[in-house]
Amino acid sequence: MSSEIYNTVDSQGESLYKEKGSKFLGLVQSCHNENEAKKIIQALREEHPNAVHVCFAWRFGIENYSDRYSDDGEPNNSAGKPIFGQIINAEITNVLITVVRYYGGTKLGVGGLISAYKTTAAEAIENTIIVQKELTYECIIRYDYSETGKANIILSKNNVDIIENGFDSLGPFIKFAANKIAISKVKIALGETKSIKLEEE
């Protein structure tokens, strides 16, 4: 797979696994950073106050990954690592998988826990949609007011996602995101135009 292409999830996927009275509620969803993940995990703790564990795993990034997983009080490597293993197996990134456990009164043992968390995570992934996305980069074009129309036409013809139309001390600007091919096309379209300048972040 090209380093410009990556797999991620396009929708939430849920699962329910039961074993000896214990219930495991799995949830996989798109997530892009640690702060976002922590808010989701905290919201789940508040939503499930009677759950005994909220275990999770995440992977963010495209080439330089940011990975983390947690057993949340379960025996070492019996929950977080099996969940994370399913992220690796599915070859997905920018994703958070959580598994909420309600205790059923019977201990499952380390082997039973590994199986339960692994199965719950795998089934949650099966219940979502995995899509391929292309890596994009943020850029800014700056221009004179007289070139506003031309700037917008160039961007609209070259498949970019507009992030912000703004104005700062340097004048008007448009911030956008695009893949490398689209950025190259914008550069060509700008040509020798001196009143419209492209800045790559």
Single-letter amino acid, residue 154: I
Bridge partners of 57? 69, 97
Check whether residue 35 and residue 93 sit in a common domain. Answer: yes
Domain boundary pick from 133, 157, 176? 133
Verify that 32 and 126 share a domain, yes or no: yes
**What's the domain count of the chain?**
2
Q: Which domain holds residue 177?
A: 136-200
Amino acid letter at 197?
K
Residue 1 CB neighbour total at 10 angstroms: 8
Give the domain-ending residue among 77, 103, 133.
Answer: 133
Spell out the per-residue pLDDT of the chain, length 201, in tens. Answer: 455 789 999 989 999 999 999 999 999 999 989 999 999 999 999 999 999 999 999 999 887 899 999 999 999 999 999 999 999 999 999 999 999 999 999 999 999 999 999 999 999 999 999 999 888 888 898 988 888 888 888 888 888 888 888 888 888 999 988 888 888 888 888 876 667 888 776
Cα dihedral sign for 169, 174, 177, 179?
Answer: negative
Report the CATH number that the domain containing residue 112 is assigned in CATH: 3.30.230.30
